[in-house]
């Protein structure tokens, strides 16, 4: 080989070496690509600046350093190392972003639960207030109904007894020794019938009583006929027979002495015992009303 040929070969080898060296220092870095993707993802997070500003800045700095190292043909290991650091800062930032998002989501859920509880309590309070108002109205209505009933009983001249409110019809409503009602009984019976029809749950116990004159059998029969006469008069005025019971008590239960005319007049009577609004009497129906 002559001298010219040898020199040409040396130059070709040198050029080839430089080309291979340039290819080696500017080779593609997968680590750098991954770092770019990681940092880009962090920078696009809405909470990045709020939760991970320092991590994002550090990741961007390391990424710039990795890019610069590659551009200046620094060793691939150095480029990869800087890219690795950029990735790690970006991952730390992502973790902080996710943690803050989780905290915000938890706080939002707690706020929603609190709002639901507050709404439920407010609704319950409104329901309680409405119920209290309804109860107050019912109590007021019941009180007014009781007042009206008491006034109606007072108009009927009912008096309280062990059996219940009791109305006394004296013997002036019947002829002597008779069970036929006189016209004077109409007003009292009209009022009583009106009350019973206005209070359809009320039942009545009609008790006939006599003075001591005459035999026991006679007086029991007379007192029963008088009680039956009052019941018949009430039925004519629209009171159902199922709401009434009649009992002839004869002379067994005087309310005054039978030694005087005035006393005997008080003993000759028909007493009408009223039940409560549920059809119950204060005591058993058989005891005397006097």
C-beta atoms surrounding 98 within 10 Å: 14
Q: Taking 50 as the threshold, does the pLDDT of residue 15 lie above it?
A: no
- The pair of three-digit structure tokens given for residue 234, joined into one six-digit string: 């009430």
**Would 217 be classed as within a structural domain?**
yes
Domain enclosing residue 42, as ranges: 3-105
Confidence of residue 26 (pLDDT cuts 50, 70, 90): low
Give the pLDDT of residue 290. 41
What is the enclosing helix (H) or strand (E) of 33?
Answer: helix 30-43
What pLDDT digit, counting tens, does each position of 126-177 carry? 999 999 999 999 999 988 888 888 888 888 888 998 888 999 988 667 777 7
- 114 in a structural domain: no
Q: What gap in Å lies between CA 51 and CA 174, rounded to an integer?
A: 104
Which pLDDT tens digit goes with each residue over 232-247? Answer: 999 999 999 999 999 9
- Estimate the share of the chain in helix, then strand, then coil, as percent rounded to the nearest 5: 65, 10, 25
Q: Do 8 and 99 reside in the same domain of the chain?
A: yes
If you average pLDDT over residues 75-88, what whole number do you get?
Answer: 95
Give yes or no: residues 257 and 171 share one domain.
yes
Whether 8 and 15 have beta carbons less than 8 Å apart is answered as no
**Cβ atoms 181, 229 nearer than 8 A:** yes
Tokens of 274: 């009223």
How far is C-alpha 154 from the chain's CA centre? 41
In a domain, 11, yes or no: yes
Position with higher pLDDT, 79 vs 288 = 79
pLDDT computed for residue 283 by the predictor: 66
CATH number of the domain where residue 168 is located: 3.30.1330.60
Check whether residue 264 and residue 194 sit in a common domain. yes
Residues 99 and 177 in one domain: no
Q: Give dist(CA 276, CA 2) in Å, integer.
A: 145
β-strand partners of 30: none
Looking at the predicted structure, is the pLDDT value of residue 8 above 50?
no
The structure tokens listed for 7 are 């020199």
The span from the CA of 267 to the CA of 20, in Å, is 143
**Residue 70 clears pLDDT 60, i.e. is over it:** yes
What single DSSP character describes residue 213? S
Whole-number percent of the chain with pLDDT over 90: 66
Task: Provide CB contacts within 8 A for 27, sequence distance 6+.
Answer: 76
- 260-269 pLDDT tens trace: 999 998 898 9
The model's pLDDT over 185-231, given as tens digits with 9 standing for 90+, comes to: 888 899 999 999 999 999 999 999 999 999 999 999 999 999 999 99
- For the entire predicted model, the pTM comes to 0.55
Check residue 48 and give its pLDDT: 93
Beta strands across the sheet bearing 204-209: 166-170, 269-274, 204-209, 244-248
């Amino acid at each position: 080989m002559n001298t010219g040929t040898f020199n040409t070969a040396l130059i070709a080898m040198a050029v080839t070496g430089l080309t291979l060296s340039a290819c080696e220092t500017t080779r593609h870095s997968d680590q750098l690509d991954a770092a770019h993707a990681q940092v880009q993802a962090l920078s696009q997070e809405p909470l990045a600046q709020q939760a991970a500003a320092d991590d994002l800045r550090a990741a961007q700095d390391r990424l710039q350093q990795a890019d610069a190292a590659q551009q200046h043909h620094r060793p691939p290991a150095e480029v990869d190392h800087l890219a690795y650091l950029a990735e790690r800062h970006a991952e730390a930032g992502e973790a902080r972003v996710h943690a803050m998002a989780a905290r915000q989501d938890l706080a939002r859920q707690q706020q929603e639960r609190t709002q639901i509880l507050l709404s439920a309590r407010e609704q319950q309070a409104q329901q309680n207030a409405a119920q209290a108002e309804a109860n107050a109205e019912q109590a007021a209505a019941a009180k007014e109904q009781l007042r009206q009933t008491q006034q109606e009983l007072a108009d009927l001249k009912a008096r309280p007894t062990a059996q219940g409110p009791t109305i006394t019809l004296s013997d002036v409503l019947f002829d002597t020794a008779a069970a036929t009602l006189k016209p004077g009984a109409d007003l009292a019976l009209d009022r009583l019938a009106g009350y019973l029809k206005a209070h359809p749950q009320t039942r009545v116990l009609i008790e006939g009583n006599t003075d001591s004159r005459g035999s026991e059998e006679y007086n029991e029969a007379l007192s029963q006929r008088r009680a039956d006469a009052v019941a018949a008069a009430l039925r004519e005025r629209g009171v159902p027979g199922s709401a009434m019971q009649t009992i002839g008590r004869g002379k067994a239960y005087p309310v005054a002495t039978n030694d005087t005319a005035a006393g005997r007049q008080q003993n000759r009577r028909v007493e009408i015992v009223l039940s409560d609004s549920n059809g119950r009497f204060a005591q058993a129906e058989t005891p005397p009303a006097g």
